[in-house]
Structure 1
Amino acid sequence: MKIISTNIGERKEIEWKGKKVTTGIFKFPVSKPIFLDIEEVKDDEISDRKHHGGILQAVYGYSLKHYDYFKKLHPNVDFTHGIFGENLTIDDLEETKIHQGDIFKVGETILEATVQRNPCYKLGIRFNNMKIVKQFWNTTMCGVYFKVLQTGFVKAGDEFQQIKSCPENPTIADLYVAKRTEKGV
């Protein structure tokens, strides 16, 4: 696994269903290294601290390979890296093979895979199409949240080196399917 793009978002206010909503889902590639801190990516907007950021969800990674599936469903969308709200666009991140607790060295950091990303209406806002939320739920291409065990900088081109494997734990895809079942999606 290799970082293709590092992405950061600014605070953005939008109108949705007659209300002002603040979001950080509009993330775009940056050319400089980004700093992964204990509870967040430095300089990245997290508007909803209840569902994003914090120790277990400090960094969100998403697979570039998954883009192809959604490009077919949304051919008129500009698939800029970061469109799924990810901090790290990774060449081949496979949720069915990454277990909760797996640990990776990447750049100056050490990251632990923690939980899946559950989509909300803000993904629909980013795509300008609410259908994406259900389409996202109906896959196991959810992306991976990481806990930062060692802070530091990462940049495009940095490779993930697995330093601990936890095959006894559920995969990120298993967690996602369980959450989808729980929610009745």
Structure 2
Amino acid sequence: MTSITLLTGRAAPLPGSDKRSGIDKRPVHAPLALGTEGLAGDEQADRRVHGGPEKAVHHYPFDHYAAWRADLGALALLDAPGAFGENISTRGLTEADVAVGDIFRLGGALVQVSQGRQPCWKLTHRFGVPKLARLVQDSGRTGWYYRVLQPGKVGPGDGLELIDRLAPEWTVQRLWRALYVDRLNLPELQGIAALDVLAEGWRSYAARRLDSGKVEDWSARLEGNS
């Protein structure tokens, strides 16, 4: 059982911008309903690329904060969980430990790891650090998402308990390496395309690369306002 910090946020304009975002997450102090679209009271401004059933809950390891302080300096945002827009913060679980398809009991709900997190330009804007979204992607310290298998109540004192592992060899770290580092490794792409517990969007990346022999350009997502 891993103890959690539970966080939510409302969509609001980013400081100094007319763009809205729900990236500013704050700890909650009472139980919340968790449904297939996420936690009650949690919002995403751009539902084209954020939220939805395959991205219902975002988990970011607090373990990474020390590395970010070493990389970026003593930023106030890094003093407490929530800097990366996460709904769940823990110690002791990272992308190397967690695999797509892993099922966890979270309070009264059941959740399943669905895909890794794809950082976007809003992280760069939030931190005020040039190209931070790309740094997050390149580091592999991305976090991951859950889909909700069984809705239920979740509270700040609840734990995260591993129930089952359906594809333990497919860690979030391995997926990251295949999609962002060794990007045209055909055996890895074939495995990802056939991985039925992985979110359809990520399987489609692998399928398109297998068909085209090319890697998609994510520069607009990482650096532009899209």
Q: TM-score, normalised by structure 2?
A: 0.74
Corresponding residue of 2:122: 122
State the structure with bigger RCO (CA 8 A, min sep 6), 1 or 2: 1
Q: Please report how far the alpha carbon of residue 183 of structure 1 lies from its aligned counterpart in structure 2 after TM superposition.
A: 4.8
Query: Partners of 2:157 and 2:14 in 1: how far apart?
Result: 33
Alpha carbons 1:5, 1:89 under 8 Å: kept = yes
Alignment of 1:1-185 (within 5 A): 2-14=2-14, 20-78=18-76, 79=78, 80-167=80-167, 170-180=170-180, 181=183, 182-183=215-216
Alpha carbons 2:25, 2:85 under 8 Å: kept = yes
Query: Partners of 1:3 and 1:144 in 2: how far apart?
Result: 17
Q: Please report how far the alpha carbon of residue 34 of structure 1 lies from its aligned counterpart in structure 2 after TM superposition.
A: 2.9
The 1:173–1:184 alpha-carbon spacing in structure 2 relative to 1, beyond 3 Å, is farther
Alpha carbons 2:104, 2:111 under 8 Å: kept = yes
Structure 2, unaligned stretches of length 5 or more? 184-214, 219-226
Query: Which amino acid is the alignment partner of residue 150 of structure 1?
Result: Q
Q: Aligned-residue CA RMSD in angstroms?
A: 2.0
Q: TM-score, normalised by structure 1?
A: 0.89
Q: Please report how far the alpha carbon of residue 15 of structure 1 lies from its aligned counterpart in structure 2 after TM superposition.
A: 6.2
Bigger helix share: 2
Q: Per-residue CA shift, 1:76-109, capped at 9, x if unaligned?
A: 3122311100001112222122211111112101
2:44 is paired with a residue whose SS is coil
Corresponding residue of 2:201: none
The 1:34–1:73 alpha-carbon spacing in structure 2 relative to 1, beyond 3 Å, is farther
How many percent identity over aligned positions?
A: 31
1:114 is paired with a residue whose SS is strand
Structure 1 segments of 4+ aligned residues over 3 angstroms from their partners: 181-185
Alpha carbons 1:63, 1:90 under 8 Å: kept = yes
Between the two proteins, the alignment pairs up a number of residues equal to 183
Q: Please report how far the alpha carbon of residue 157 of structure 1 lies from its aligned counterpart in structure 2 after TM superposition.
A: 3.5
The 1:168–1:84 alpha-carbon spacing in structure 2 relative to 1, beyond 3 Å, is closer
Look at both structures and tell me which one has the larger radius of gyration over its CA atoms.
2
